[in-house]
């Protein structure tokens, strides 16, 4: 099985879907000749032409708004927002329009749209190239929110997202674009939107994470294993709709839950996972639910020690999981 990076898997997913379905097209800033600032669309402009890999004006609202229009017409747009930090000008189009179209028309209209955006910190990006924005969108009924943590899932989930008849937010951990490698089968496959995945089994503590934090959680589990602590790691993969079953199964097995995300703590996605566990697995718990998240400051600071202070990492995750295991 060939090995590839996260970004290569994402590119391959788009390439295959564009080859399969002529209604699929890409629109965004610098996605054409430049192939995207992260090179996610590299080569696709040459292969599919300027009408299917469309350089947009530097205006995020209309990248999404134009995508919605084309989706209403029956096309399958992939809208690229260059950094998740810049998605907010399009917030109304996503939340007010795409998310509500099906409900407000009683199912008459739908918006089969994928919005891809690199997210996350640890890349010296400061306040405006590091944000994690998933909680804003996971809150909104009518949106699906997907965050892959490895090349296999990234490809399979993105292909599912492109084929989904609903708007899908697809957030990509940009720090992992070239760092995270993995095997990707040559034959066609899909990873369904919805199910979480237990990526490492253990009996002492459950660590719930997604994206880059899932990658770190696996490393933390390795550290803990050397100390004799068996951590179970759950890759949430799809934040909306949430896979309650897998979360609860894992907690029932370990009795202890740690949720990790790099988005800041308060009202982050971890709050929802904690609430699900508290409501449905209270009697299975052997310790309070813990969250490890970015601190409640308005962004990831730029200077190296400050960025380090902000970001969760394998050591911080291992420390938090160890304390919980020893509770």
Structure tokens at 76: 């399958």
105 contributes a contact to other proteins by CB under 8 A: yes
**Count of residues in the chain:** 327
135 or 193: CB nearest other proteins: 193
Interacting residue with other proteins among 5, 41, 56, 131 (CB under 8 A): 56
Interacting residue with other proteins among 107, 228, 298, 304 (CB under 8 A): 107
Rounded Cα distance, 170 and 176, in Å: 15
299 contributes a contact to other proteins by CB under 8 A: no
Listed ranges 36-44, 93-101, 243-251, 306-314: which one lies at the site for other proteins (CB under 8 A): 93-101
Listed ranges 164-172, 202-210, 270-278, 291-299: which one lies at the site for other proteins (CB under 8 A): 164-172
68 contributes a contact to other proteins by CB under 8 A: yes
5 or 238: CB nearest other proteins: 238
CB 321 within 8 A of CB 258: yes
Torsion, Cα of 277, 282, 287, 293 (10° steps): 20
Interacting residue with other proteins among 30, 37, 88, 110 (CB under 8 A): 110
- For the bound state, the minimum distance from the C-beta of residue 88 to other proteins, rounded and expressed in Å, comes to 12
51 or 305: CB nearest other proteins: 51
CB 26 within 8 A of CB 78: yes
261 is catalytic: no
CB 261 within 8 A of CB 209: yes
- Sign of CA pseudo-dihedral 132, 189, 219, 217: positive
Rounded Cα distance, 291 and 50, in Å: 45
Task: Tell me the number of residues near other proteins by CB under 8 A.
Answer: 48
238 contributes a contact to other proteins by CB under 8 A: no
- Sign of CA pseudo-dihedral 174, 179, 182, 188: positive
Number of DSSP helices (H) and strands (E) in the chain, helices first: 12, 14
Enumerate the β-bridge partners of residue 116.
Answer: 80, 170
Interacting residue with other proteins among 37, 123, 127, 190 (CB under 8 A): 190
207 contributes a contact to other proteins by CB under 8 A: no
Q: Which residues contact 19 (CB under 8 A, 6 or more apart)?
A: none
Question: Which residues make up the interface to other proteins (CB under 8 A)?
Answer: 25, 51-52, 54, 56-57, 59, 61-62, 64-75, 77, 89, 92-93, 96-97, 100-110, 112, 141-142, 144, 160, 163-166, 190
Catalytic residues: 129
């Amino acid at each position: 099985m060939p090995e590839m990076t996260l970004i290569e898997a994402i590119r391959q997913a788009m390439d295959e879907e564009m080859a399969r379905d002529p209604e699929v097209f890409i629109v965004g800033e610098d996605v054409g000749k430049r192939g995207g600032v992260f090179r996610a669309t590299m080569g696709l402009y040459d292969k599919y032409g300027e009408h299917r890999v469309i350089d947009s004006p530097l205006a995020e609202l209309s990248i999404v708004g134009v995508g919605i229009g084309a989706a209403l017409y029956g096309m399958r747009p992939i809208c690229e927002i260059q950094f998740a930090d810049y998605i907010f000008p399009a917030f109304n189009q996503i939340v007010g329009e795409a998310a509500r179209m099906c409900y407000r028309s009683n199912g008459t209209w739908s918006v089969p749209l994928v919005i891809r955006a690199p997210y996350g910190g640890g890349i010296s990006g400061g306040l405006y190239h590091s944000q994690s924005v998933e909680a804003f969108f996971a809150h909104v009924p009518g949106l699906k929110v997907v965050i892959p943590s490895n090349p296999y899932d990234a490809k399979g989930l993105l292909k599912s997202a492109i084929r989904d008849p609903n708007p899908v937010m697809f957030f990509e951990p940009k720090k992992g674009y070239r760092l995270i490698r993995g095997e990707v089968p040559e034959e066609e496959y899909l990873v369904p939107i919805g199910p979480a995945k237990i990526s490492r089994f253990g009996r002492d503590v459950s660590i719930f994470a997604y994206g880059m934090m899932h990658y770190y959680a696996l490393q933390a589990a390795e550290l803990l294993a050397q100390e004799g602590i068996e951590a179970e790691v759950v890759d949430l993969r799809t934040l909306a709709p949430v896979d309650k079953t897998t979360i609860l199964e894992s907690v029932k097995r370990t009795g202890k839950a740690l949720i990790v995300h790099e988005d800041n703590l308060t009202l982050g996605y971890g709050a929802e996972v904690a609430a699900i566990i508290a409501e449905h697995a209270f009697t299975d718990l052997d310790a309070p639910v813990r969250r490890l998240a970015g601190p409640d400051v308005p962004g990831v600071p730029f200077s190296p020690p400050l960025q380090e202070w902000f970001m969760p990492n394998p050591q911080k995750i291992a420390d938090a999981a160890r304390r919980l295991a020893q509770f």
